[in-house]
């Protein structure tokens, strides 16, 4: 049904409309059907809130306006606050059918204002400028005189040393000229979006690459549900143009891809595997990988946090800091794996203890296996910068790392149950039949969010903290135990064991 009133187009809805007009329509006509934010999206939002609050401390005489449910009421409150000639946080204004809240409005001169948009990214992105152009159009239409537009973002060169220094944590870039150039297009887009909002008819928007850029759309599960549950053409590796071309021809299943279709070598491997429902095994390639391994084998996995606002001294924004590791050691062929693990107990910097333990347990010989090993290497390298006494040790062990992802990245091995993915989350169940189903924490991003929440949150009781920590231990343990299962399955499939 058509809304009983003509709703305003907010800046967040405008940005959504730029991504997808169907998503915009859903926001006003079928909002209850839009999937709720998952825990990872909530973590991004929480981070943005924290960054915004910290940015306000740079304007100590600023005034925070309380958000009001009715936009017209909030706009009236904001207009009254203009007379204070102080920085205003979340002042909102209406012009025609658009409504926007400013992160920070800063008085400039006698009757001008500077517009500051705060972002938790480490640089200026194109859609940030569109965001500001929408705001400037709204505020000037409402009668404000906007002098300059700025984007305030995280300075990724900042290194924490003691209390956070907001003036050093943030960088500010003027984008007034770029914003002004966008405003004519903003006016056209607003006009089109308002027509969409006012229409009872859902726009016909085909799926495309934009569904996942610059971030995955929340409607993906709705818009893509026409695909077969498994073995669909969008599992093809690499650029998705071939998949879209096949879709346009009415071909949705791998098994229906005709002979002679122009595919890459890797895509050809996938299609044959899915059609036959048998794994592809390049025994020579897998054996070449296995022959590199030297006992004792060390299976290592880190879980990390990477907050926008650093919590440990000598760390940068978004630096991956390990708070947990799991390590299995297999001394020789056929030996029972020996397990070591660590989960940081408090808010203290966990890196010194983790490095101390790993120096002891990794020894001076044998391969160190990790899945996407570059992550473990980079995490260790960053930790060494703040703990330079381990530099010599790190240089030695760095050469011992072997990436267990290699045979899957190179498609020396591919199983149709991997569903086009080389992630351990898909490889493990495909090869061993066991996986992450039913686990309370089953993904690295969630592990990071949950550890941060129960460790640095202000209102987490002890029972909740214990529950999450137990789930973290089970998850990290499975990641490393799963690597052992994958390696043994590779050996078996190649008759190497």
Identify which of 7, 45, 46, 10 has the alpha carbon closest to the alpha carbon of residue 29: 7
Residue-range definition of the domain harbouring residue 359: 284-493
**Are 411 and 351 part of one and the same domain?**
yes
Q: Is residue 205 part of a domain?
A: no
Closest CA to 115 of 95, 131, 98: 131
- The mean per-residue pLDDT over the stretch 108-127 comes to 94
Note the pLDDT tens digit of each residue in 119-169.
999 999 999 999 999 999 999 999 999 999 999 999 999 999 999 999 999
Co-location of 350 and 410 in the same domain: yes
For residues 218 and 35, the answer to whether their CB atoms sit within 8 Å is yes
The pLDDT value given to residue 1? 37
How many secondary structure helices (H) and strands (E) does the chain include? 18, 14
Do 349 and 377 lie in a common domain? yes
pLDDT of residue 215: 78
Note whether 233 and 246 are within 8 A (CB): yes
For residues 25 and 119, state if they share a domain.
Answer: yes
Q: What pLDDT was estimated at residue 210?
A: 84
What SS3 class is residue 415? coil
Of the candidates 473, 487, 239, 147, the one whose C-alpha atom is nearest the C-alpha of residue 341 is 473
Are residues 296 and 357 both part of a single domain?
Answer: yes
Three-state DSSP class for residue 173: strand
Confidence of residue 493 (pLDDT cuts 50, 70, 90): confident
Structural domains in the chain (count): 3
Tell me, what CATH number does 54's domain have? 3.90.320.10
Tell me: do 305 and 392 sit in the same domain: yes
- DSSP for 234-248 reads GGSSS-THHHHHHHH
Quote the pLDDT of residue 495.
53
End residue of a domain, out of 250, 276, 302 = 276
Contacts of 186 (CB under 8 A, 6+ apart): 14, 130, 133, 134, 137
Instruction: Establish if 4 belongs to a structural domain.
Output: no
Structural domain contains residue 314: yes
What residues pair up with 401 in beta bridges, in sequence order?
Answer: 368
Is the residue at 221 inside a domain?
A: no
Question: What's the rounded mean pLDDT across residues 340-345?
Answer: 98
Q: What is the pLDDT of residues 49-78, one digit of tens each?
A: 999 999 999 999 999 999 898 999 999 999
Is the predicted pLDDT of residue 189 greater than 50, yes or no? yes
pLDDT band at 347 (very low <50, low <70, confident <90, very high): very high
* CA–CA distance, 160 with 54 (Å, rounded to integer): 14
- For the packed helices 444-456 and 39-56, what is the interaxial angle rounded to 10 degrees? 50
In a domain, 220, yes or no: no
Q: pLDDT digits over 405-456, tens only?
A: 999 999 999 999 999 999 999 999 999 999 999 999 999 999 999 999 999 9
Residue 5 pLDDT greater than 90, yes or no? no
Tens of pLDDT along 299-324?
Answer: 999 999 999 999 999 999 999 999 99
Give domain status of residue 211, yes or no: no
Domain boundary among 198, 213, 247: 198
The whole-angstrom separation of Cα 278 and Cα 232 is 16
Domain boundary among the residues 260, 276, 292 is at 276
129 and 263 co-located in one domain: no
pLDDT digit string, tens, across residues 386-419: 999 999 999 999 999 999 999 999 999 999 999 9
Judge if 96 and 147 occupy the same domain: yes
pLDDT in tens, 239-261: 889 999 999 999 999 999 999 89
Provide the Cα torsion 437, 441, 442, 444; round to 10°. Answer: 180
Residue 216 domain flag = no
Tokens 């706009």, residue located: 75
129 lies in the same domain as 100: yes
Nearest to 440 by CA among 432, 430, 450: 450
What CATH number did the domain enclosing 415 receive? 3.30.420.10
Three-state DSSP state, 483: helix
157 with 294, same domain?
A: no
Q: Does the residue 209 lie in any domain?
A: no
Same domain assignment for residues 74 and 171: yes
Helix (H), strand (E) at residue 113: strand 112-118
| Rounded alpha-carbon distances, angstroms, from residue 123 to 51, 171, 172, 181, 393 | 14, 9, 9, 20, 35
Helix 11-19 and helix 21-29, axial crossing angle in degrees, nearest 10: 130
* 33-43 residue pLDDT tens: 998 878 888 88
Same domain, 234 and 350: no
């Amino acid at each position: 049904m058509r809304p009983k009133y003509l709703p305003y187009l907010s800046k967040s809805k405008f940005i959504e409309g730029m991504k997808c007009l169907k998503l915009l329509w859903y926001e006003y006509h079928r909002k209850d059907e839009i999937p709720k934010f998952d825990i990872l999206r909530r973590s991004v939002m929480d981070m943005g809130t924290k960054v915004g609050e910290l940015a306000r401390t740079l304007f100590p005489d600023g005034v925070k306006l309380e958000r009001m449910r009715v936009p017209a009421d909030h706009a009236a409150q904001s207009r009254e606050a203009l007379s204070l000639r102080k920085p205003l946080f979340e002042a909102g204004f209406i012009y025609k059918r658009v409504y926007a809240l400013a992160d920070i409005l800063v008085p400039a001169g006698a009757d001008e204002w500077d517009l500051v948009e705060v972002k938790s990214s480490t640089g200026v992105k194109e859609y940030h400028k569109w965001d500001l152009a929408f705001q400037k159009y709204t505020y000037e239409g409402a009668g404000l005189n906007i002098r300059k537009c700025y984007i305030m973002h995280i300075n990724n060169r900042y290194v924490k040393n003691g209390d956070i220094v907001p003036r050093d944590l943030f960088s500010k870039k003027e984008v007034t000229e770029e914003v002004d150039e966008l405003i004519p297009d903003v006016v056209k887009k607003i006009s089109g979006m308002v027509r969409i909002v006012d229409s009872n008819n859902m726009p016909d928007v085909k799926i495309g690459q934009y569904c996942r850029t610059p971030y995955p759309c929340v409607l993906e599960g709705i818009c893509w549900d026409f695909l077969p549950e498994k073995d669909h053409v969008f599992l093809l590796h690499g650029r998705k143009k071939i998949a879209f071309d096949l879709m346009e021809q009415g071909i949705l299943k791998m098994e229906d891809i005709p002979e002679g279709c122009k595919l890459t070598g890797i895509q050809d491997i996938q299609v044959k595997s899915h059609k036959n429902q048998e794994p592809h095994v390049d025994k020579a390639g897998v054996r070449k990988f296995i022959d590199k391994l030297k006992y004792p084998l060390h299976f290592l996995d880190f879980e990390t946090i990477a907050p926008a606002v650093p919590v440990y001294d000598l760390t940068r924004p978004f630096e991956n800091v390990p708070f947990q590791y799991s390590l299995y050691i297999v001394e020789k062929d056929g030996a029972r794996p020996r397990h070591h693990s660590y989960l940081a107990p408090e808010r203290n910097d966990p890196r010194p203890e983790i490095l101390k333990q790993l120096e002891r347990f990794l020894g001076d010989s044998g391969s160190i296996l990790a899945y996407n090993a570059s992550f473990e290497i980079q995490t260790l390298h960053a930790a060494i910068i703040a703990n330079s006494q381990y530099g010599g040790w790190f240089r030695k062990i760095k050469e011992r790392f072997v990436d267990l992802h290699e045979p899957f990245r190179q498609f020396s091995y591919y199983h149709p149950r991997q569903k086009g993915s080389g992630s351990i989350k898909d490889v493990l169940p495909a090869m061993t039949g066991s996986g992450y189903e039913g686990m309370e924490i089953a993904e690295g991003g969630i592990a990071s969010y949950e550890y941060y929440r129960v460790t640095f949150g202000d209102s987490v009781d002890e029972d909740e903290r214990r529950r999450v920590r137990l789930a973290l231990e089970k998850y990290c343990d499975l990641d490393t135990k799963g690597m052992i299962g994958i390696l043994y399955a590779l050996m078996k499939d190649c008759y190497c064991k």
